[in-house]
């Protein structure tokens, strides 16, 4: 776990550093003096002044900061009971509101630009997509609950979803993207069943744990083993890649999801009948379960695999840009449903959980080779960078979006901001962010204990 957290800190630090670099370059561009630019936080381990800027490397090499001249002068104005914020040449408040807006928005813009760069590189290198067929299994067949939207609409196990709202879907990822991003919105599903085509209207339910939509389906997949985790129950029990599970606990396995139904009973011993190279074998797995009730079975099943890669640099840049815009749109849509009955302790990730997840992606994927690890980490960092951009653009005091609103008001009314207004605005934002941080940390601690 320590290795995952350390690796995660480096990844998260890069994203924060890019954000601060945006502020730094924008400030220099519009004529605001930068007093210090630091990689990392805390007491400087190294510092050197070049021109007017002191460059530092902090003792905690995570993220960084850009200290602009006079950005805290509103505090000085409060101390001396001034009615206006001092406006020295080259200071933050000495610049026009429009120049300050450029500086405020530069951080999120650089995060979005960083995501474009990362995703363009990913498309340039190429990556393998792992998914499943568009044939479905009703979740009610697994957990015996019948109140899912898929059941209520009339879908059946074995159906093949071919289109949603008139758009063709060919695999599980296509379907999940539609369903997860449209909770509460009615979608038109085109379904193939035994040679006939049917149309159903289905409204995805909001999942409080994730903030995404669900309709109550799994995806059909042959229960043929794609990989066996080292030291797992499957490895100890003698299962191998390529084995096809025919029966589990005496029950036939027509599709891989059927194994979930059997594991819900939490058997300590799981007898299996498998087919290996034309030979029928019997195996027995001794299972244990974590605090969340998940077994240590240690197998993954085969699915669809296909390669994606841009044919040239121009296409890679185009793909990277469109993927970033698409992710921004999905993030904004997800943000809009965040407070609609969502369990924030589960759906909201704080800095600890994000750091762990970055490290987890890096360390888990490195076993599949450097290229796979790089693709996984780059894609995940792009997602975090986009999320940081969206978060900072929120019109919340103390965030870049809040400063944008404040400076926009000043620019429109052409009246300098009163120090007390700026102070109250910043304190309100700081309190909100601190409350959100504490709340997310409780969820992070619970998450780490489960790990």
Question: 419-450 and 351-365 are packed helices; what angle lies between their axes, rounded to 10 degrees?
Answer: 50
Q: Which of 20, 71, 73, 410 is catalytic?
A: 20
Distance CA 181, CA 179 (A): 6
pLDDT at 2: 60
**Chain length of the chain:** 451
Q: Which residues contact residue 162 at a Cβ distance below 8 angstroms, ignoring those fewer than 6 apart? A: 134, 168, 169, 190, 191, 192, 197
Residue 235 in tokens: 């490895």
Beta carbons of 373 and 359 less than 8 angstroms apart? no
Rounded-to-integer distance, Cα 233 and Cα 243, Å: 15
Among 260, 230, 237, 235, smallest CA distance to 364 is for 230
d(CA 83, CA 51): 33
DSSP string, 98-154: HHHHHHHHHHHHHHHHHHHHHHHHHHHH-EEEEE-BSBEEETHHHH----SHHHHHT
Mean pLDDT per block of 10 residues along the chain (451 residues) reads 61 86 95 90 87 87 81 74 77 91 96 96 89 93 89 96 96 92 93 96 86 90 90 92 94 91 89 95 90 82 85 95 88 66 51 48 52 82 88 84 89 82 75 66 50 51
Structure tokens at 398: 């103390």
At 380 the pLDDT is 83
Q: Are 260 and 142 in contact (CB under 8 A)?
A: yes
73 classed as catalytic: no
CB neighbours (10 Å) of residue 108? 25
Residue 353 burial (10 A CB sphere; 0-12, 13-18, 19+): buried
The full 3-state SS of 199-237, as one line of letters, equals: EEEECCEECCCCCCEECCEEECCCCEEEEECCCCHHHHC
Query: Any long-range contacts for 367-376 (C-beta under 8 Å, 24+ apart)?
Result: 371/125, 372/128, 374/125, 375/122, 375/125, 375/127
Contact (CB, 8 A) for 394 and 403: no
Alpha-carbon distance of 65 to 20, in angstroms, equals 6
pLDDT of residue 203: 96
Q: What is the pLDDT of residue 336?
A: 64
How far from 259 is each of 230, 247, 300, 374, CA to CA, in Å? 20, 9, 11, 32
Pairing of strands 213-214, 205-206: antiparallel
* 31 phi-psi bin (left φ>0, alpha ψ -120 to 50, beta other): left
Distance, CA of 313 to CA of 16 (rounded, Å): 27
pLDDT reported for residue 242: 94
DSSP per position, 402-442? HHHHHHHHHHHHT-PPPHHHHHHHHHHHHHHHHHHHHHHHH
Dump pLDDT digits (tens) for 203-243.
999 887 667 889 999 999 899 999 898 888 999 999 999 99
Q: Which single residue is written with the structure tokens 């630091």? A: 38
Domains of the chain (ranges, CATH numbers): 2-33+69-123+381-450 (no CATH), 131-219 (2.30.42.10), 225-295 (2.30.42.10)
- The Cα 253–Cα 275 span in angstroms is 12
pTM for the predicted model, two decimal places: 0.76
pLDDT at 352: 46
């Amino acid at each position: 776990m320590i290795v995952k957290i350390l690796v995660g800190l480096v990844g998260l630090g890069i994203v924060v550093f890019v954000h601060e670099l945006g502020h730094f370059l924008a400030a220099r561009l519009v004529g605001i003096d930068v007093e210090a630019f630091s990689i990392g936080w805390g007491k400087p381990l190294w510092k050197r002044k070049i021109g007017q800027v002191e460059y530092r490397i902090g003792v905690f090499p995570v993220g960084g900061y850009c200290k602009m001249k006079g950005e805290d002068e509103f505090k000085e104005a409060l101390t001396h009971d001034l009615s206006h914020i001092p406006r020295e040449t080259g200071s933050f408040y000495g610049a026009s509101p429009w120049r300050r807006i450029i500086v405020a928005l530069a951080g999120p813009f650089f995060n979005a630009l960083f995501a474009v760069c990362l995703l363009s590189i990913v498309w340039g290198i190429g990556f393998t997509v792992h998914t499943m067929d568009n044939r479905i299994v009703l979740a009610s067949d697994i957990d015996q609950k019948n109140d899912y939207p898929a059941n209520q609409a009339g879908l059946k196990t074995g159906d093949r979803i071919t289109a949603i709202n008139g758009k063709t879907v060919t695999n599980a990822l296509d379907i999940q993207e539609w369903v997860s991003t449209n909770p509460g919105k009615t979608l038109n599903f085109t379904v193939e069943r035994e040679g006939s085509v049917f149309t159903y209207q289905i409204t995805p339910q909001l999942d409080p744990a994730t903030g995404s939509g669900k309709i109550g389906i799994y995806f059909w997949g042959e229960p043929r083993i794609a990989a066996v985790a080292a030291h797992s129950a499957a490895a100890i029990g003698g299962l191998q890649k390529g084995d096809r599970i025919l029966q589990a606990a005496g029950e036939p396995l027509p599709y891989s999801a059927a194994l979930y139904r059997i594991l819900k009973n939490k058997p300590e011993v799981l007898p299996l009948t498998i087919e290996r190279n034309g030979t029928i074998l019997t195996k027995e797995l001794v299972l244990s379960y974590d605090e969340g009730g998940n077994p240590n079975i240690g197998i993954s099943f085969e699915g669809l695999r296909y390669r994606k890669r841009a044919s040239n640099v121009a296409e890679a840049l185009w793909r990277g840009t469109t993927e970033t815009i698409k992710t921004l749109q999905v993030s904004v849509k997800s943000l809009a449903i965040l407070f609609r009955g969502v369990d924030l302790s589960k759906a909201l990730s704080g800095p600890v959980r994000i750091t762990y997840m970055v490290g987890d992606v890096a360390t888990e994927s490195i076993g599949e080779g450097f290229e796979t690890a790089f693709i996984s980490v780059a894609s995940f960092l792009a997602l975090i960078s986009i999320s940081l951009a969206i978060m900072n653009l929120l019109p919340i005091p103390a965030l870049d979006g809040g400063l944008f609103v404040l400076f926009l008001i000043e620019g429109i009314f052409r009246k300098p901001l009163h120090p007390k207004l700026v102070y109250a605005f910043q304190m309100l934002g700081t309190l909100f962010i601190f409350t959100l941080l504490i709340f997310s940390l409780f969820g992070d601690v619970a998450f780490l204990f489960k790990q």
